[in-house]
């Protein structure tokens, strides 16, 4: 069973950018690669804890600002070294102008 949590108004996330949102004890990178596309991944890089939500978003790839690993924001897959393990990704839903993330219980 997942719980749906509102994380942002769509206007809070520029197209082609990511922001950091806090949901309970989690820190998520909410990414908007295109006007109507939102993806949420953990904000903590699996290499050394870098803040992914502060990285550059290019298409569906976000670059960790600490050592430059790339992750696919759609799946959380680690695409380049030095990261080798994926980050968690979370389903998102847009209702009206609000973005929700579905979190596992
Ligand atoms: S902490 Fe992200 S690449 Fe090192």
Inter-CA distances, 43 with 1, 25, 95, 96, Å: 23, 12, 23, 25
Specify the ligand 1 atom closest to the Cα of 65.
Answer: 2
Instruction: Determine the residue of 66, 79, 80 to mutate for testing ligand 1's pocket, defined as the one with the most ligand atoms within 8 A of the Cβ atom.
Output: 66
**What's the pLDDT score for residue 39?**
98
Pocket of ligand 1 (CB under 6 A): 45, 47-50, 64, 66-69, 82-83
CATH of range 15-96; options 3.30.1330.120, 3.30.2040.10, 2.102.10.10, 3.60.20.30: 2.102.10.10
Q: How confident is the model at residue 2 (pLDDT cuts 50, 70, 90)?
A: confident
Mean per-residue pLDDT, 82-91: 98
The answer, yes or no, to whether residue 81 has pLDDT greater than 90, is yes
How far is it, in rounded angstroms, from Cα 86 to Cα 42? 10
**What's the pLDDT score for residue 54?**
97
The answer, yes or no, to whether residue 105 has pLDDT greater than 80, is no
53 or 1, higher pLDDT: 53
How far is it, in rounded angstroms, from Cα 53 to Cα 63? 9
């Amino acid at each position: 069973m997942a719980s749906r949590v509102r994380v942002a108004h769509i206007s809070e996330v520029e197209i082609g950018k990511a922001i950091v949102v806090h949901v309970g004890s989690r820190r998520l990178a909410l990414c908007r690669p295109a006007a109507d596309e939102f993806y949420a991944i953990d904000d903590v890089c699996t290499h050394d804890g870098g803040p992914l939500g502060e990285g550059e978003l290019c298409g569906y790839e976000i670059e960790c600002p600490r050592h430059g690993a790339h992750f696919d924001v759609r799946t959380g897959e680690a695409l380049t070294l030095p990261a080798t393990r994926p980050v968690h990704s979370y389903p998102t839903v847009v209702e009206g102008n609000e973005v929700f993330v579905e979190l596992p219980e």
